[in-house]
Amino acid sequence: MTTDLLFDDKVILKKLTKSDADFFYDLYSRPELLINFDDNPFLSDETPQEFTSRIISASEFIWTIRQADTPDSVIGDCALHHWNKKNTEIEIGGSLLPEYWGQGRASPGERVNEGTPLNYGDSETFLLAK
């Protein structure tokens, strides 16, 4: 089963790739998002390609967020991290472009809290918050 593409009727989560580097770097360059970090997310003199490659290599699951009605436009990212398999716990993190805040269309946290099924091609999985 692949996790490269997850979707429902409102949102598409597509695996983050190096081709998303310019968007991804721009997303985390936004002053509105920097308040969520204790430190600058970028290493000194890090290029968009280097930043994206570093994050991809450090993440088991990381996707871009796209609206289902405009799948070519990336509006944010979503990642699963700090996976504790023993306690069956995982954290969800991510960011949206500020112009999409408050719309309730693509928030990964909202979708998980609702227990919304996200499709893996031919099958479904449910992400449920504890």
**Which of 129 and 76 is assigned the larger pLDDT?**
76
pLDDT per position as a tens digit, 52-81: 999 999 887 899 989 888 999 999 998 887
pTM score, two decimals? Answer: 0.74
**Which of 35 and 47 is assigned the larger pLDDT?**
47
**Angle at CA 110, nearest 5°, toward 1 and 27?**
80
Q: What is the mean pLDDT of residues 42-58?
A: 92
pLDDT per position as a tens digit, 90-126: 777 888 888 888 776 544 444 544 444 444 444 344 4
53 close to 16: Cβ distance less than 8 angstroms: no
Question: CB burial class (10 A; 0-12, 13-18, 19+) of residue 76?
Answer: buried
**Which of 83 and 107 is assigned the larger pLDDT?**
83
